[in-house]
Structure 1
Amino acid sequence: MVDSWCNEIRDGAKLGAVRSLLRAFRSACHYGDDGGDDPTAKFSTMSSSVFNKIMLFVLNEMDGILRGLLNLPPSGGKREMVIDLMTTRRWKNYNHLVKSYLGNSLHVLNQMTDNEMIAFMLRRLKYSSVFLAAFPALLRKYIKVALHFWGTGSGALPVVSFLFLRDSCIRLGSDCLDDCIKGMYKAYVLNCQFVNSTKLQHLQFLGNCFTELLRLDIPSAYQHAFGYIRQLAMILKEALSCSTKKKKTKSKGKEEPSSSKKEKGKEAPSSSAKKETFRKVYQWKYINCLELWTGVVCAYSSEAELAPLAYPLTQIITGVARLVPSACYFPLRLRCVRMLSRISAATGTFVPVSLLLLDMLEIKELRKPPTGGAGKAVDLFSILKVSKSTLKTRAFQEACVFSVVEELTEHLAQWSYSIAFMELSFIPSVRLRNFCKSTKVERFRREMRRLIRQIEANTDFINKKRTKISFLPNDPAAASFLEDEKKSGASPLSQYAVTLRQRAQERNDALMESSVLVGDHSSKFGNEITSDDEYDNSENEESNGLLLPGKDSKLTHQKDVKKKKKKNIEPLEETALDEDIIEDFILSSDEDDNPVSGTVEEEDSEPEAAAPAQRNKKRKQPMEMSKDKAKLRNSKSKKMKKKAQGKL
């Protein structure tokens, strides 16, 4: 029976066969619904082959059949075409067929769970999306379903859903576009509340789709972008007002006497409210929204409508970076710096990014020796906040300084061809020299001196070119200064930035490949004393070409500790401290020729450097005691002598 309908439609598109096939299509779409099976219905039961044949034929051919009945072009069309068609007699005769096809298809889309089948249906329904102009209620439901699949689907389904939405917006105009922009932004916000490594690519895809959709109507996109960016500004304004009030209350508290208990009880909820306002800003949802609008502004920086949004967005990002000037939120500040650098590069306007970076070098955590040990390797670009214990580790200090150097180099390299490079690089150079004088860590000094040398070389490079020009700084010809050199990347800072990018990429690849703990061996000595075999194995491992200092004394000291008291806690703590120091010696000498001069302990504080020597003196006493005992054993028995030699 189905084959006969299909053959009749192929031969002449008879109306009776079309209606019968659409009734069968409705039964197939509602097949298996709870309470939907009517035993008196004509198509209450059907085999899987019949179901498959009905669905495939209708989805592949019904768009062309309906266009033939309504006397429309075989493909394409806009909203105006359907609006004009709604006044004709043909539409009054056949509009129920169009509505049946679109309504039943929507029903089965809501029931399906297989992503490939849903993608196939959306791919076919995309050609009939122009008919949704006549059914606003169906249009809203289709947009809602497609947005759900776009935000939560997997495989090819998000791409197909986005193409359906984009094609619908092109054909149906501003009414559909406004709903799609609002729905896509809401879906993006719901997806970016919690971020991990697997979600980053999906978020980037969602952001790219949203940016592409705004291209369809730039003036309408400006209205939406202005409203959403204003929302972000209002949230930041509330947080800034709380921070200013907090500073005022602190200043008043120093001058005025303490308030009564009743006044303290009233202040408690305000402090919790302040924390909530700060959390609204310092969370993944807010930061990812800033990332989204940064991508939009950078993509359409040449458009006259969206270009003015760069300034308020820059002000918001700068305010977010300075909201809580704590070392715990340095990863968040680095994200803001990257967003500002992108906006500056896209719009060609100077943004004082260097001030945000140089302020990071003045924190007290970088001026003190690391008291938290070596610590884990830190990736500052995949998190927003660092724990307080991590702040005291050497790994955080190194990651912080290296990240500042890399981002500052990128910023200065971006303006390394500017005619005003000598002026804009003066303050960063002065503050970098001050950091070199204040820090006691030689590794950080070397890193800063390299950057300062590159800045000076780039200044000489620009000054030589400046002596050969005759135009004034406000002349339009200044915009084309060193265009050829910029295309070839000939400035010293541009070449240095390339090497730093390679180093950063290697560091990120190492973090992705393994999650090795820095100083992992040192964390084990506090639990139990290792055996001689473990020391022998550790000697064979790579230690950056260095030998562990004082191994023999350490072994004899541990053996004497075992002989004295197994449950004594003090010797265990001493050995644990010693082992931590040894691990620090190894890891801090990656770039130094002299293993001792490169240690953080000797560079940062002299009293701590003297501590290992004092502990080595304490070790000598148990060594002499063990020699006396060995002599006594040799006089008593030769067997005892062999055992003693074997243990030593």
Structure 2
Amino acid sequence: MSDIEDSDNGNHAEEEGSLSLSRRKAKEHVEQLERLKEKDPEFYQYLKEHDKELLEFDDEDIDEGEGTDLEEDVESQPTHEREQKPQAKVITTAMVDSWCKAVKERDKLGAVRCLLRAFRTACHYGDDGENSSAPKFSIISSNVFNKIMVFVLNEMDGILRGMLKAPGSGGKKETIMELTTTQNWKKYGSLMRLYLGNALHILTQMTDEQMISFTLKRIKASAVFLAAYPALLRKYVKVALHCWGTGKGALPVVSFLFLRDLCVRLGSDCLDTCLKGVYKGYVLNCKLSKSVSRSKLQHIQFLGNCVSELYGLDPPAAYQHAFVFIRQLAVILRGALTERGNKAVKDKKKGQKQQESSKSTKKQVEKAYQKVYDWQFIFCLELWTGVICAYSSEDDFQPLAYPLTQIIYGVASLVPTARYFPLRLRCVRMLNRIAGATGTFVPVSSLLLSMLEMKELNRAPTGGVGKAVNLPNVKQVDKTTLKTRGFQEACIYSVVEELAEHLSQWSYSVAFFELSFIPVVRLRNFCKSTKADRFRQEIKELIRQVEANCDFTNSKRIGIEFSPNDPAAASFLKAEKEAGSSPLSKFVAKLHLKAQQRIDSMVESSVLVGAESSVFASRLSEMREQDDDDGDAEEGAAVFSSSWLPEKKSKLRDEKKSSKKRSHEKEQDVGGDEDVVEDLVLSSDDDDDEEDEAPDGGLPSDEEDHESKSSPSLKQESGKRKLATSPKQKNKKHKLATTSSKNRSKPRPKNKSRKGANK
């Protein structure tokens, strides 16, 4: 953010010079008007009638600027004295109160400028030592800092809108661009730039999430003016994307509302960047280990709902990005299928050399499988499933349903083993959602019925009862869990639920009898082969409901004359479908209730910490209701009520960190303009070597991404650096460590080692 600070410093210096020059010219103008009134009263009267604004020149700002106790008479001091003794006026609470009162009662320009200078001082607290020129103002009290921040963030938007003659609230990009050509913008536009630039700087310095949330919420009222400052707009988008992807509590909601408001009001200026950024932020949050907790799953669902909401603002523009990202998933899946095909061809050949090479081929196939069977890949499929289902009526998103269905079907059948039953069931749920939203037939029954024919679900469990398996939270199970009774029960119940869900979608079709014939035959075969009475009863109940639904549709289609492919078949049982009166529809409702009860019984109350972050609709409506101005003053006073001040920085340390900080910010730039297909790697190749060492073919537990643990600010706060030691000191430490076993067992105090290093 050094470019922001430099631009602010330059703008501040130019503003000070232009302000002193304008004061001198204003004095001369007032004196000329007085002389004109004495010398030529008639011409003065003419000006009064035809150019009243010229005579009604208010010099209160000049007097105020000269009379304020903050302005230092720099010109009266010698040059060498100013250089040797730079001093800054300390801002007090009384000064802030007087400015606020002047702005509210008399709307004085001088008070507004003083407030903005004080606001800049508060935002750049600790940074003034880096400037070549000495600061004019300083803040040493947290109360003054809090008062300035609360007043400026709450009131400055309305004050500047009044000075610029802008709409009272909101606005569009076109309105702002027209406003930039007016005379008021030329006079006061720099004030808006100063306000937004300094607010951006303090956003990068704060670490308290409540302060960041309140600041973003108040800046959102003035976000439409960023259309006039493209450089500031890009940096605001970057900060908001970072807060949305890494924040906690209310910060992700506030950040998303800020981004959404920018996209609605500014359109294409930031929409493309936001669409790329939110997807990349979503992918980074999906980097998980072998299993996922319920709270983390709900947070990912919340982020996915945010992405879906943003992609629905402009479907034509969003289609381009969705197509690229879905194609990227298809390329990863194609790589896994290609490796599997190559392995199958090589396995047919015989010979010792070929057997040795087949081991390396097997490792390549496992790496390709791990890229597909990764949480990032699965959650991305669920994200695009949600987007297409939410906007299935849009013509732009309908063409994406078919390729996404093909990808999901390929993932479900990539490794047809019982260990990946949880992953296959997730894919079946996604396919059922797409089929229900788009009204297209997806043959998911073959995926489910093939599971029932595997030996793991037909033979008696040899691993005992085992623990209850929560299938939505895992993507694979180990070999021990495969043999337990709990795993078999979870799989059978899930197969019955998903197969009933699939058949219920077509329970009002005129061809339901033909569609359900083969599934019923295979279900009866499972009842004959299984030895578990509880599973046989579940399957028989499903068969009874399917047969009852066949009787329901057959009785209605006796009197019809059209064929199943006739367009008139779409209106068959339309009234019954809207009422949900088919036997299968009622049966599915009961199954959903039982499934929810089973899941709730496995979840402890302590796991629900942070679950409210996933309730997207309620949180979104609550935050929108809180956008009224009545409670902003109280909220700001509550947020900025601590003794917090930004940490002072040393110039030397910042210069040493500048190069590292720039490279680190490039890595964290989730809203950059890079090539999307090349840069967004869902499963990095660097982790492949570690994945090979995972037991049972599973993935190792990945370390959480550093961005998810970092604070919401973009400022990288490092800990205390360790002092470097010379080779002689290292040898000295080695001798001390080897003198006796006691010395080796006792750790060296940190303070002593630091003193030795300093010496």
| Same fold? TM cut 0.5 | yes
Contact 1:31–1:37 under 8 Å retained in 2:
no
SS in 2 for 1:381: helix
Which residue of structure 2 lines up, in the alignment, with residue 162 of structure 1?
A: 256
Q: Which of the residues 430, 441, 444 maps onto 1:350?
A: 441
Deviation at 1:36, TM superposition (A): 5.5
Contact 1:211–1:296 under 8 Å retained in 2:
yes
Do structure 1's residue 117 and structure 2's residue 211 form an aligned pair? Answer: yes
Count of paired positions: 509
Do structure 1's residue 244 and structure 2's residue 341 form an aligned pair? Answer: yes
- Structure 1 residues 313 and 349 mapped into 2: Cα distance closer, same or farther (>3 Å)? same
Contact 1:37–1:44 under 8 Å retained in 2:
no
Which residue of structure 1 lines up, in the alignment, with residue 179 of structure 2?
A: 85
Which residue of structure 2 lines up, in the alignment, with residue 589 of structure 1?
A: none
Which residue of structure 2 lines up, in the alignment, with residue 208 of structure 1?
A: 305
**Residues 557-607 of structure 1: CA deviation (Å, up to 9, x unaligned):** xxxxxxxxxxxxxxxxxxxxxxxxxxxxxxxxxxxxxxxxxxxxxxxxxxx
- Structure 1 residues 11 and 345 mapped into 2: Cα distance closer, same or farther (>3 Å)? same
CA distance in 2, matches of 1:222, 1:243: 31
Contact 2:166–2:179 under 8 Å retained in 1:
no
Which residue of structure 2 lines up, in the alignment, with residue 310 of structure 1?
A: 401
Which residue of structure 2 lines up, in the alignment, with residue 413 of structure 1?
A: 504
Q: Which moved more, 1:3-12 or 1:137-146?
A: 3-12
Which residue of structure 2 lines up, in the alignment, with residue 590 of structure 1?
A: none
**Residues 303-324 of structure 1: CA deviation (Å, up to 9, x unaligned):** 1111111111111100000011
User: Which letter does structure 2 place at the counterpart of 1:258?
Assistant: G
Deviation at 1:264, TM superposition (A): 5.5
Do structure 1's residue 102 and structure 2's residue 163 form an aligned pair? Answer: no
Contact 1:30–1:36 under 8 Å retained in 2:
no
Q: Which of the residues 362, 367, 381 maps onto 1:271?
A: 362
Contact 2:180–2:186 under 8 Å retained in 1:
yes
Which residue of structure 1 lines up, in the alignment, with residue 422 of structure 2?
A: 331
SS in 2 for 1:77: coil
Deviation at 1:500, TM superposition (A): 2.0
User: Which letter does structure 1 place at the counterpart of 2:351?
Assistant: S
CA distance in 2, matches of 1:375, 1:514: 22
Which residue of structure 2 lines up, in the alignment, with residue 193 of structure 1?
A: 287
Deviation at 1:113, TM superposition (A): 1.8
Deviation at 1:201, TM superposition (A): 1.4
Do structure 1's residue 459 and structure 2's residue 550 form an aligned pair? Answer: yes
Which residue of structure 1 lines up, in the alignment, with residue 100 of structure 2?
A: 6
**Residues 227-271 of structure 1: CA deviation (Å, up to 9, x unaligned):** 111111111111111111122222x23xxx3143xx665554443
User: Which letter does structure 2 place at the counterpart of 1:101?
Assistant: Y
Which residue of structure 2 lines up, in the alignment, with residue 481 of structure 1?
A: 572
SS in 1 for 2:473: coil
The normalised TM-score by structure 2 is 0.65
**Residues 507-545 of structure 1: CA deviation (Å, up to 9, x unaligned):** 212212499xxxxxxxxxxxxxxxxxxxxxxxxxxxxxx
Do structure 1's residue 174 and structure 2's residue 268 form an aligned pair? Answer: yes
User: Which letter does structure 2 place at the counterpart of 1:457?
Assistant: A
Q: Which of the residues 431, 442, 462 maps onto 1:371?
A: 462
User: Which letter does structure 2 place at the counterpart of 1:304?
Assistant: D
Deviation at 1:226, TM superposition (A): 0.7
Q: Which of the residues 203, 214, 217 maps onto 2:314?
A: 217
Which residue of structure 2 lines up, in the alignment, with residue 133 of structure 1?
A: 227
Same amino acid, percent of matched pairs = 65
Which residue of structure 2 lines up, in the alignment, with residue 226 of structure 1?
A: 323
Q: Which of the residues 317, 328, 332 maps onto 1:235?
A: 332
- Structure with higher RCO (Cα < 8 A, 6+ apart): 2
Contact 1:409–1:497 under 8 Å retained in 2:
yes
Contact 2:128–2:135 under 8 Å retained in 1:
no
Which residue of structure 2 lines up, in the alignment, with residue 423 of structure 1?
A: 514
Contact 1:332–1:384 under 8 Å retained in 2:
yes
Deviation at 1:24, TM superposition (A): 0.7
Do structure 1's residue 258 and structure 2's residue 355 form an aligned pair? Answer: no
Contact 1:240–1:323 under 8 Å retained in 2:
yes
Superposition pairs of residues 439-518 of structure 1, within 5 angstroms: 439-513=530-604
Do structure 1's residue 293 and structure 2's residue 390 form an aligned pair? Answer: no
Q: Which moved more, 1:164-173 or 1:288-297?
A: 164-173
Deviation at 1:417, TM superposition (A): 1.2
CA distance in 2, matches of 1:379, 1:468: 47
Q: Which moved more, 1:183-192 or 1:62-71?
A: 62-71
CA distance in 2, matches of 1:267, 1:87: 71
Superposition pairs of residues 554-569 of structure 1, within 5 angstroms: none
Q: Which of the residues 65, 68, 83 maps onto 2:162?
A: 68
Superposition pairs of residues 32-43 of structure 1, within 5 angstroms: 32-33=126-127, 35=129, 41-43=135-137
- Structure 1 residues 99 and 328 mapped into 2: Cα distance closer, same or farther (>3 Å)? same
CA distance in 1, matches of 2:357, 2:492: 42
- Structure 1 residues 83 and 513 mapped into 2: Cα distance closer, same or farther (>3 Å)? closer
Structure 1: gaps spanning 5 or more residues: 516-648
CA RMSD of aligned residues (A): 2.0
User: Which letter does structure 2 place at the counterpart of 1:324?
Assistant: V
Do structure 1's residue 145 and structure 2's residue 145 form an aligned pair? Answer: no
Deviation at 1:478, TM superposition (A): 1.3
